[in-house]
Amino acid sequence: MTTSPVTRTPRRSIVTTGLGALGLSAAVLSSLAGRAAESGTAAAPSSSRAATTSSSASPEPDTAAAARAVVALVAERLDTAPEVAAAKYHSGQPVEDAARERTVLDTARTAAERDHVDPDWVEAVFADQIEASKQAQTALLDEWSRHPDRAPAEAPDLTTTVRPTLDRITSELVSGLARLQDVRDDPSCTRDLRRAARAVHVSDAPVQQALPTAIEHLCTVGPGH
């Protein structure tokens, strides 16, 4: 009986075919991995852009710094009240001086218009400065009337000492109000104003007691509300 020869696939061919299949899988996997890496790289700039946008966001208005600067000038101005009172104590002049008050308000209003600050607001603020100074002067004069031994021995020259100081403060205060104007409607304005007023130092108790009047209209909502 004749036996048909058995066809055998050479082992080398099988191995080569197998390796070829494995090579194809490796190529596919490599391609997929490459695409995943490219996808991750592409996503990174988006995250980076988001972080940059977040970090470059505009900061909140610094109402605290603006309030401190203005209150410091208000306190410095109010601290001239004892000298003004001393001059009036020795001269017998009344606390009220309508002509001088009008001059102060007009000067402040002119400076406000020059610095592009709301002139009505500036006039209201300076009216508070005048009223606060009169309160402190009245309290000091009453005290000296009851206790002459506590009264100042000499009268200062207001023309050469106090008024140049007041004129300087007027200009600086209007500039300070120009900065405060942008944040006076901010809810934190009144809070920061109170903190600044508590931290400031003045010479006499009557001056300290008049300070709330001097800062009444600095913020849209006054510190008394």
CB neighbourhood size of 181 (10 A): 17
CATH of residue 140's domain is 1.20.59.10
Name the percent of the chain lying above pLDDT 90: 66
Predicted local distance difference test score (pLDDT) of residue 11: 45
**How many structural domains compose the chain?**
1
Place of tokens 């109170």: 194
Whole-number average pLDDT of the chain: 80
Alpha-carbon gap, residue 219 to 5, rounded angstroms: 109
Domain assignment present for residue 205? The answer is: yes
- Give residue 55's pLDDT: 41
Is residue 137 packed enough to be buried (19+ CB in 10 Å), middle (13-18) or exposed (0-12)? buried
Classify residue 9: in a domain, yes or no.
Answer: no
Cβ(23)–Cβ(149) below 8 Å: no
pLDDT attached to residue 187: 87
Determine the distance from the C-alpha atom of residue 219 to the mean position of all C-alpha atoms in its chain, rounded to a whole number: 12
DSSP code at position 2: P
pTM value > 0.85: no
Long-range CB pairs of 197-206, under 8 A, 24+ apart, other chains included: 197/71, 197/223, 199/68, 200/71, 200/72, 200/75, 201/75, 202/75, 202/78, 202/79, 203/79, 203/82, 204/81, 204/82, 204/136, 204/140, 206/81, 206/135, 206/136, 206/139, 206/140, 206/143
The predicted structure's pLDDT at residue 144: 97
Which pair of tokens denotes residue 36?
């995943």
The pLDDT score that the predictor gives to residue 133 is 98
Residue 219, domain member (yes or no):
no
Give CA–CA dist 136/207, Å, rounded: 5
- CA dist 110 → 91, 170, 174, 205 (Å): 31, 11, 10, 33
Q: Is residue 200 part of a domain?
A: yes
State the Cα–Cα distance between residues 62 and 66, nearest whole angstrom: 7
Residue 225 lies in a domain: no
CB contact at 8 A, 133 and 190? no
List the domain range (segments joined by +) for residue 88: 63-214
Q: What Rg do the C-alpha atoms of the chain give, in angstroms? A: 40
Those residues of the chain that have pLDDT short of 70 are 1-61, 221-225
Instruction: Let me know if residue 39 belongs to a domain.
Output: no
Q: DSSP letter for 6, please.
A: P
Q: Is 125 part of a structural domain of the chain?
A: yes
**Structure confidence at residue 6 (pLDDT):** 46
Exposed/middle/buried for 72, CB within 10 Å: 0-12, 13-18, 19+? Answer: middle
Q: What is the pLDDT of residues 58-115, one digit of tens each?
A: 444 478 999 999 999 999 999 999 999 999 999 999 999 999 999 999 999 999 999 9
Q: Is residue 154 part of a domain?
A: yes
